Amino acid sequence: MRTGEARLASAHVTTVRLNASDSGSVETDALVVGINTSPDGPRPAPGAQALDAAITGGLAPTLHALGFSGKAGEIAKFPSFGAVPAPVIVAVGLGDAPAEDGAHDLETLRRAAGAAARSLAGTAGAAFALPAATPGQAEAVALGALLGAYDFTRYRTGDEHKAPLQAITVLSDAPGAEGSVNRAATLAESVTLVRDLVNTPPSDLSPARFAEIAEETASKAGLSVEVLDETALKEGGYGGIVGVGQGSVNPPRLVRLGYAHPEAETTVAFVGKGITFDSGGLSLKPSASMAWMKSDMGGAGAVFGALLAIARLGLRVNAVGYLCLAENMPSGSAQRPSDVLHTYAGKTVEVLDTDAEGRLVLVDGIARAGEDDPDLIVDVATLTGGQIVALGWRTCGVMASDDELREQVVEVANAQGEAAWGMPLPDELRKGLDSPIADIANLNPERSGSMLAAGIFLREFVPEGVRWAHVDIAGPAFNKDAPYGYIPKGGTGMITRTLVALAERHQAGREA
């Protein structure tokens, strides 16, 4: 099973495998079991029965003595004292038990597995005996554990940090579970790559270096790769990308990734904002807002990771990805407020604020994506502070050319555990983007509704007749707080899995 060959910044790789053994007999360094809450106290969830039977008096008295209730994400560790081969037991809370004959929620399983895996840093291997009676549950456990074991270690020189969990075994005898666990490994590989890219300092991830990584990694996965450098961008009329990148000594790039399947009936195009560092340009950000702007390429990272997973999963769909890469810096050559850019779509844009730069690189990518004759374009970007104001740090905003598509994207994202909320595109906000000298201004000076106004700006550049969705991940792409569930501190890899799931919904033989 492939276990992270594309992990280019972190030295550690966690492996995963499937085992049909039960919790009472598996040989491992640590055994993870799920616990539900109940009116009578903590109750072992499916998967923990063999362990419960092996411990004198059962699990409940021990957990009660530890003050463990079974609430979601709660962790308790204790020795097995030889009751089972595993020397250490890790109980992880799953919250309320599902209704009779109901299944545990997949996101609950992902988060529980992730929390348990993170608590096992420094452990060589662990078996996860969480509820996994179906292939979907087995995949959720594997994916959560793999993502929870993530740690970005490239720049650490000391040995005070424990190494992440090295090997994961998912205990399940569900028919078809092996394929599901393999799928989890592929998805985790892509999300890990995105997290590594987001966490990499901008000194080591210029637009050119990002493009090199894309070329090296994508070609191995069977993707076609085209890279436009600064000269090709100028000659090709990509005024948005050129304008944003002209202030930096690190010139911009546009990367096109392509995947084709002989049975495909549909083409999906994904466009990602890839600002490898955003100072705000001449409209300089406050230093506190600039400190985490290495994450401003999270949209391009998600598109890159999704294309890799689509190719490795062999989905019956055609997919293209555009990585719109630039570094937004102030200098004597930087674009100025009041400059007018000539975009790839042919429209002119008056730049009122150089810190509203993400939309400028995206419109060139969106217009270029139209040449691939896609059935759907989805752009992903850490685009606006307005998204954080409106929806917080964990929920992305989704806008679209029609309500049905918007709700489909929201539904798919939430099913992956990537929280999303549908937002409108009010027509009355378009007037605020009027420019007296160009076709459109790059932002509305009135800041209210800024997330929505940014979506309306992008909509102006979508090729006629193509369905389009915009996903603003400004907050969710980077977790500035403590880890939770399977989400680490730092880069999250947000929306990578949603893009893959959208491609799956457009496979040949499936109704979109």
Tokens 């995963």, residue located: 16
* Cβ contact 23:32 at 8 Å: no
Q: Which of 111, 359, 406, 497 is catalytic?
A: 359
> CA-to-CA distance for 137 and 133, rounded, in angstroms?
7
355 in a known ligand binding site:
yes
How crowded is residue 34: how many other Cβ atoms within 10 Å of its Cβ? Answer: 29
For the question of residue 431 being annotated catalytic, the response is: no
Helix (H, G, I), strand (E, B), or coil: what is residue 211?
helix
Alpha-carbon distance of 98 to 287, in angstroms, equals 47
> Does the annotation place 278 within a ligand binding site?
yes
According to DSSP, residue 398 is labeled E
Q: What is the token pair recorded at 366?
A: 């969106």
Q: Is 353 annotated as a binding residue?
A: no
Among the options 285, 430, 459, 489, which is catalytic?
285
Is residue 273 annotated as involved in ligand binding?
A: yes
- Other Cβ atoms within 10 Å of 388 Cβ, number: 18
Treating both helix axes as pointing N-terminal to C-terminal, what angle do 298-313 and 177-199 enclose, rounded to 10 degrees?
150
How many CA atoms does the CB half-sphere of 505 hold within 13 Å?
Answer: 16
The C-alpha atoms of residue 59 and residue 416 are separated, in whole angstroms, by 32
Tokens representing residue 21 in the block: 């053994």
Sign of CA dihedral 153, 159, 160, 163: positive
Beta strands (DSSP E) in 140-191 are: 167-171
Q: Quick check: 233 and 252 in contact, CB under 8 A?
A: yes
DSSP state of 442: S
> Which among 313, 305, 92, 303 is positioned nearest to 184, based on CA atoms?
313
Task: Work out the burial of residue 489: count CB atoms within 10 Å of its CB; fewer than 13 is exposed, 13-18 middle, 19 or more buried.
Answer: middle
CA-closest candidate to residue 255, choices 376, 355, 364: 364
**CA geometry: angle 104, 108, 111, nearest 5 deg:** 145
Per residue, the 3-state secondary structure of 224-271, as one string, reads EEEEECHHHHHHHCCHHHHHHHCCCCCCCEEEEEEECCCCCCCEEEEE
Is 2 designated active site? no
Question: Which of these, 326, 359, 354, lies nearest to 251 by C-alpha position?
Answer: 326
Residue stretches of the annotated binding site: 273, 278, 296, 355, 357
Which residues are the active-site residues? 285, 359
Binding residues for Mn(2+) are 273, 278, 296, 355, 357
